[in-house]
Amino acid sequence: MRDMSGSPLLEAKDHAAASVFHPENLLREARRQRGLPDVAVPALCVLDPDGDVVRALETSGRGIRHPGWACYHTRMLTFRLGGRDIGIVGCAVGAPFAVLVAEQMFASGCALLISLTSAGRIAADLPEEAFFLLIDKALRDEGTSHHYLPAGPRFAAGDRALIDAAAAALANAALPVLRGATWTTDAPFRETERAIAGAAAAGVQAVEMEAAALYAFATARRRAVLCIAHVTNQMARIEGDFEKGEADGAHDALAVLGELAAALPMPPA
């Protein structure tokens, strides 16, 4: 564990205090400036950091732009899957951006958020082909989680009941789905051999950029968040890496999301 004494990341933090800046107020001003209606987003929302699912929905014509999504930085599409309306935002990459959007989703009517990101292999005993990983917990090697939870725990954990329900929903899926831990980094191009070895020694299966922050946010805000990683690469250490499958992985991602949409109970908004 690195020495963080004297770091601004750990200074002047009062995790029990209310924030001065509220997502509801930001959305209010965005609606005023843009003349947008105050229309709730679907109860089930999805973060698609790579944007592959969003692009597939746009290409097929299945995705419809949400008329009231007031986020300054993104746009939301809505579509039907698993018998439910779903709101999806693409390309919110990295912990700060993902939580910025998640805060606004829940302030806009979201009750359950699923993040489906891509990830690189860390553990040595993983399947050779691409697979999905239900993330139990994530190593907090990023900054955002430390604004929501104290620095003590090295991992941010997901809600066990929600993860158990997701595992049951995907138990008979045609796609390989494992369950385990990830390492959330803010700096993918600083994944050194020492850092990789440390993450592997901590029991991590893969590396991604959002889960620790989203789970810390979920714990602090008492929100329902499920993080999944599509493990597709070896951090470009081999030629021909980053192959996700049909439609850049969107076909398989939609299959996973469809199983979850049909099976997961929806918490109150």
Instruction: Read off the tokens for 232.
Output: 């597709």
- Read off the pTM: 0.94
Residue 172 C-beta-side C-alpha neighbours within 13 Å: 1
CB 96, CB 213: distance < 8 Å: yes
Q: What is the C-alpha separation between 90 and 71, in angstroms, rounded?
A: 12
The CATH class of 24-232+242-262 is: alpha beta
pLDDT tens digits in sequence order for the chain, 269 residues long:
455 567 888 888 999 999 999 999 999 999 999 999 999 999 999 999 999 999 999 999 999 999 999 999 999 999 999 999 999 999 999 999 999 999 999 999 999 999 999 999 999 898 888 899 999 999 999 999 999 999 989 999 999 999 999 999 999 888 889 999 999 999 999 989 999 999 999 999 999 999 999 999 999 999 999 999 999 866 545 555 556 666 577 999 999 999 999 999 888 76
How do 76-81 and 155-157 pair as beta strands?
unpaired
